[in-house]
Chains A and B, each alone.
Chain A
């Protein structure tokens, strides 16, 4: 069910949008990058989120800032107006991701896949021992 999807987990606050690529009528691929810290452990997370069956995309970035930082992500069922244009009962869902320099809203059939890569960040360089 669409409501089970937690947009803020897929697009966590302060993560960065690195790249968006879109093939009309097919898929939207978003590359998200962020750092997760848990106690002394810090990891870099890079995820590729692929949305399938994209029917509409609205995107606007106002400032020439590389890697816009995510402020919020909202996932919802499409509005009634758009529903009238959709095919069958398999209604697309909408996802809006807001960043510090712009936003992306996409209506799609489904989230096809999420690929997450994690790499550990060394917390401190090794200390040289005397002698």
Chain B
């Protein structure tokens, strides 16, 4: 299980919400590296953030609600699908609060790995 931690967020109300995350990944026995990623919600109509504490929030879950009548899909950021130009509600639960946003779209990419792994390049999931 990979634990994502929130390192930073940047909000431009009415425009976008950007989250910088980091995770410690263990791809093999004795191997461990840090993966840093960026999650950007675009064309945001609503955003709600409630966080407390003085450490890096640890992400528990990420949900996307397609509409009120459709079931939510649980999983990490990878589990969230294409918005297709309609409003989607996203909710990220952390151990110290939550971030909820209504947005048209999002993008998620891994921006850096450490230590460097040969052959692994910038990977964009959407």
A interface residue numbers (CB < 8 A to B): 17-25, 53-68, 101-102
Contact = CB atoms under 8 A, between A and B. Distances in A.
Contacts of A54: 54
A57 B96 CA distance: 11
Which applies to chain B's interface (DSSP): helix, strand, loop or mixed?
strand
B47 interface: yes
Interface residues of B, number: 25
28 contacts: A17-B13, A21-B8, A21-B10, A22-B8, A22-B10, A22-B51, A23-B8, A24-B53, A25-B53, A25-B54, A53-B54, A57-B50, A58-B50, A59-B11, A59-B48, A60-B46, A61-B11, A61-B14, A64-B43, A64-B44, A64-B46, A65-B13, A66-B12, A66-B15, A67-B13, A67-B14, A101-B13, A101-B14
B123 interface: no
B121 to A, nearest CB: 27
